[in-house]
Structure 1
Amino acid sequence: MGQGKEGFIISIDRFKPHTFNMEEGDGLFISHSHDYDELTLVLDGEGYYSSPEQNIKVSAGSLVLIPPGLHHGFVCTKPWRGVSVHFNHERIPLQSRYLFHAGYECNRIQCIQLDAEDTEWAEISFNQLEKEWKKERIDIDSFNITRIAFETAVVLFQRYQAVSAHAAGSRNDQTIIQDVLKEIHARFYSQLTVHELASKHFVSESNLRKKFTEIIGVSPKQYMINLRMEEAKRLLRQTDKAIESISSEVGFTSSSRFYDFFVKAVGMTPYEWRKQNIK
C-alpha cells in the first residue's frame, strides 16, 4: 500500500470512538513522538493535544499540525472521530511546501479551527488523498491529484492561520516572508521578480532580500531557481517530455540558460541526469 519512495505520505490513519465503554471525561491518553510530520483533522467529539509547553483543546473542525520529533500526547474527552495524515514535509510537492519554511515551529503544535463548510471541504480532500495513496502505483495523474488534495488542506490551514495572525495584529517579518513564499511556490515557473514581490508587500527590494535571506537562508532569486531545478528533476524523472519543453515549463526563457543552471546545480546535463534517474 502507498506510493513508494516517490511519495511523501507515510501513512493515513482514521480514529473513532474506542471500543471500550467510556464515560464522559474518560479518554485514552497516548504520549509519543515520531520522525515524520502529522496533519490531523478532527471531525466529531472533543479532546486535547499536548506538548511540553502546550495543552490545546480540539473539537470538530480542528486541524492540527505536529512537527517531527516533538513529544506530544492526546486525550479524548468526548468520543471523537477523525483522520491523521503522516508525511515528510521535505518531500511534499513544491507548490505545497511554503508552509514548512518560514513560520514552521518545530517545537510547538499548531492548531486552527475550520468553520463547518471548510471542515467538509477538508474532509473531502483527506478522503481523496487517502484514495490516491492506497493505489499500488503512482502515475502523473495520481501525483497531481494527491498534490491538489494535500495542498487544499495546507492552504486552508495557512489561510486560517494568517487570519488569526492578522486579527491579533501580529503581521511581522515572519508572516511577510510566509506570504512571499506562498506566492513564489504558486508562481515560481513564471517571470516573477523580486521587485514585484516587494511592491506587493509594501517593502523595499533590499529589505525583502535581507529579511528573506535571514529567515530562509538564500536569496529570493536563488530560492526560485532552486524550485525550478527541483521541478525540472521531477519532470525529467516522471515524464518523457523534451528537455526544451521542460526548460520552458519551469520558467526559463531559454534552454541554454536552463542547461547552464542545471549543470551548475547538479554537476551534469539534464540528459545525463535523466538517464541515471529514469524509472
Structure 2
Amino acid sequence: MSYIEMMVPPFPTLIMGGYAVFEKGTRHFRRTFTVFDLIYVKHGELFITEDDIPYTVGEGQYIILVPGFEHFGHKGCCVKTEYYWLHFSMPNHYDLVEDGIDNWADILLSEGDMETPSAYRFCLPCFGEIENMKFVENIFDNLMSISHQTPDYQLRQQLYFQEFLLHLQKEACKIPSAAERVVEETVKFIKDHYKEELKMEHLSNALHFHPDYITRCMQKIIGMTPNNYLNQYRMNEAKKLLAMTDEKVANISQEVGIMDATYFSKLFKRLEGLSPYEYRRIILRKK
C-alpha cells in the first residue's frame, strides 16, 4: 500500500466537498485531476481503478486519488452506493512512499520555539478502512452542513477537514482517542461486574469520570449508553445460559445480575423480541 508523506503545517487545503449517491449499475467517472480526490463510502461499494490498479472501496473504507493519475470506475455499483468526496490541494511538497508511521511519537520532526512553529510528518494511507466510522461520518456531516451563506464557511470547513486528517493519522498509528479509552475502560468494567448491581455512580467512582462524560463517550463511539450496553451484554450472557443449560429463568436472571425475574423477562422480550422461554424453545428445536 502507498502512503502520502507530507510535512505540516501548513495542512492540505480543502477545496470543495460533497455527498453523492450512485444507483445500482452506475460507474465512477473517468478523469485525471490536478488535485487530490478523497472518497469515503458510507453505504455500498465503488469499483475504482487508479494508475491501472483496481480497488474495491466498501462501506467504511476510503481512497485518496492522487493528482496526475487517471482514475475511473471499472465496474458498475452492485448496490445503491452513498459516499462523501473531498477535493483538496497540497501547499507543500509531498511524496508517495511505501512505509507509513507506526509510532505516534515519530510524527514530531522538530520542536517549535517563540518564533518557529513545530514541524510534523504525516503519512496517510492512500487506501484504508475507518475504525471509528461514527466519529468520521459525524465530521463529514458537520463539514457538509455548514451554511454557505456565511462568509467564513470555507474556513470553518477547513477546520473539520484538518480534524479528519489528524484522525486518519491517528488511526494509521492505532492511537485511540480519549473517548475511545474511556469506552474501553467502561466496557471492561461492565464485563467484569455485570453480575453485580451496577449503577452509573459505580462506573463513575471506578473510572474517575463524571457520569455524563462517560455516557457521551459511549454514545459517540458505540452509539449506546452504558446502561443500554449493560442490558445488551446481560441479555447476550443470558442467551448463552438459556441455550446451554437447564437452569430456571429466575436463576439465569440472578446469574446475569438482575434480581427481579419478572423485570428480566420483560427486558429480554423488549430487546430480543421474544420471551426467555420462547427463545429456549426455538434453540432446542434447532438442536
Q: What TM-score do the two structures reach when normalised by structure 2?
A: 0.39
- Superposition TM-score, scaled by structure 1 size: 0.40
Bigger strand share:
2
Question: Greater helix share, 1 or 2?
Answer: 1
Larger Rg: 2
